[in-house]
Structure 1
Amino acid sequence: MSAFLAPIHSWLFNKVLLFQDIEMDLRNKYLEIYGEEAREIIEETKNYGELIDRTKSIEELIDLSNIHGWLQNKIQNGESRVAVILSIFIDKYGSDALKTAEDIFYNNGIKQGQMAKEKENPQNAKDIFSTLNNYILEGMPCDRVQKLIQADEHIVRWINTSCVHRGNFERANADINLFYKLRFLYLKGFVSSANEEYKFFETNNEDDYIYNIEKA
């Protein structure tokens, strides 16, 4: 990434904010359900930085002397805060807290898929895959973790060549498998909302997840 603020930086920053929306929904719902106990748990997320101030622009917030490092730090801290929230609440409150998280990820997928429908209006599987990457975090652009297996108008399949989320979850003592379970729910919501003629599903191939977008 360049040493100057460019459209790609704003694009990535917006994806960080969209992930923070999921974090805020988790915080607010757990506070609503569990009250003061939830507040004490959420305090632990401060070990991984503060929330981004949504009232300020990227130009007001970013460290122009270290654009790449600043954005990478926001991704790492955001994912680690979510990892802390998920891990502690689910350990403490079990299946009820898990169901809450599942609903939040799925509903955010629907909401952001609707945003994509209104803005990009993807017409086929390739369009949906391309559009999806305007919304989900998969590390930094230079990580290039997605590898297409098949891509045409009717079906797109891909794998991730590495997991850019694992380190952020492990430093928060959280299970990366939980992240993928919730990510898949988000993707199901996103794809069906972006274009109701298509669906997302995941399959396993040895140690890899295969991501699939195809006609419903």
Structure 2
Amino acid sequence: MSAFLAPIHFMVYGKNQLQEQLIAAIADKAVAEGWQTEAAVEGYVHRETQPLENIIDLANIHGWLSASIEDVEHRLAALVTELLFGHPERQEVLERLAYEEGTKQAAGEGLEAGEVFQYMMTHLVDGMPCDGVNMMRDQSADTFRWDKMADVHSRYWTEVEGSPAVYDALRSQFVAGMLEKTGYEVFSSNGVNYILQKKQTA
């Protein structure tokens, strides 16, 4: 059965599973902090342990993966929005948690900027590969510039009356955790044009 699946399909599923881990960590944190009961948050968590080939619809691979992305994006937005409703101070806690979760997927040392970018793109949910969300502008050994060609995340947050800015903050911290050992950081002044570059030292 797995003969029908290509590496890109496993990569997309792997990205989804990492976001599933973030959702589970947020749910667990909410229970530990007394924000919600376990029963109240468990509906947002999907603890799938089966390999992709056992659960995917091989007759509709693209559709199944696309629906899986929509599902994981929606549940993250819904859970975080519920937890922050009336309690904006919790966002700082969730951002720290996102950073910690990012460190669990930390990229290694000694990578060039392009290699770090590729590592990020194999770990972050950004729609389907055919959506062409991220387009490179230029690169060197120490910098990588790209443009975000489409916003594939905001609608999940607005649909649950949440703030896309919260997603941006959580993602930024998750990325910072991933890059902790690399010596790189990501900047964007407008949410469209991005640069990955070596951290500036004083």
Aligned to 2:81, what secondary structure does the other structure show?
A: helix
Question: d(CA) in 1 for partners of 2:43 and 2:9?
Answer: 29
1:43 Cα offset (Å): 5.5
Over residues 100-143 of structure 1, what are the superposed CA-to-partner deviations in whole Å (9 max), with x where a residue is unaligned? 21012111221111xx42xxx66211110011111111110101
- The answer to whether structure 1 residue 4 and structure 2 residue 4 are counterparts is yes
Within the candidate set 195, 198, 202, 2:187 is matched to 202
Question: Please, which runs of 5 or more residues in structure 2 have no aligned partner?
Answer: none
Aligned to 2:189, what secondary structure does the other structure show?
A: strand
Greater percentage in helix:
1
Which residue matches 1:191?
179
* TM-score, length of structure 1 as denominator length: 0.83
Aligned to 1:34, what secondary structure does the other structure show?
A: coil
1:211 Cα offset (Å): 2.3
1:161 Cα offset (Å): 0.9
Q: Is the 8 A contact 1:122 1:128 kept in 2?
A: no
Corresponding letter in the other structure for 1:42: V
RMSD of Structure 2 on Structure 1 (CA): 2.0
Corresponding letter in the other structure for 2:188: T
Question: d(CA) in 2 for partners of 1:79 and 1:103?
Answer: 20
Task: For 1:116-135, list aligned pairs within 5 A.
Answer: 116-117=107-108, 123-135=111-123
Question: d(CA) in 1 for partners of 2:8 and 2:71?
Answer: 20
Corresponding letter in the other structure for 2:162: A
Identical positions, percent: 25
Q: Is the 8 A contact 1:184 1:202 kept in 2?
A: no
Question: Please, which runs of 5 or more residues in structure 1 have no aligned partner?
Answer: none
* TM-score, length of structure 2 as denominator length: 0.88
Q: CA distance change for structure 1 residues 107 and 140 in 2, over 3 Å: closer, same or farther?
A: same
1:214 Cα offset (Å): 1.1
Question: d(CA) in 1 for partners of 2:163 and 2:40?
Answer: 17
- The answer to whether structure 1 residue 64 and structure 2 residue 64 are counterparts is no
Over residues 19-73 of structure 1, what are the superposed CA-to-partner deviations in whole Å (9 max), with x where a residue is unaligned? 11101100001011116x344542564xxxx61521x111111111111111111
Question: d(CA) in 2 for partners of 1:93 and 1:40?
Answer: 20
Corresponding letter in the other structure for 1:112: Q
Aligned to 1:53, what secondary structure does the other structure show?
A: coil
Within the candidate set 48, 65, 83, 1:53 is matched to 48
- The answer to whether structure 1 residue 79 and structure 2 residue 73 are counterparts is yes
1:168 Cα offset (Å): 2.1
Structure 1 segments of 4+ aligned residues over 3 angstroms from their partners: 37-41
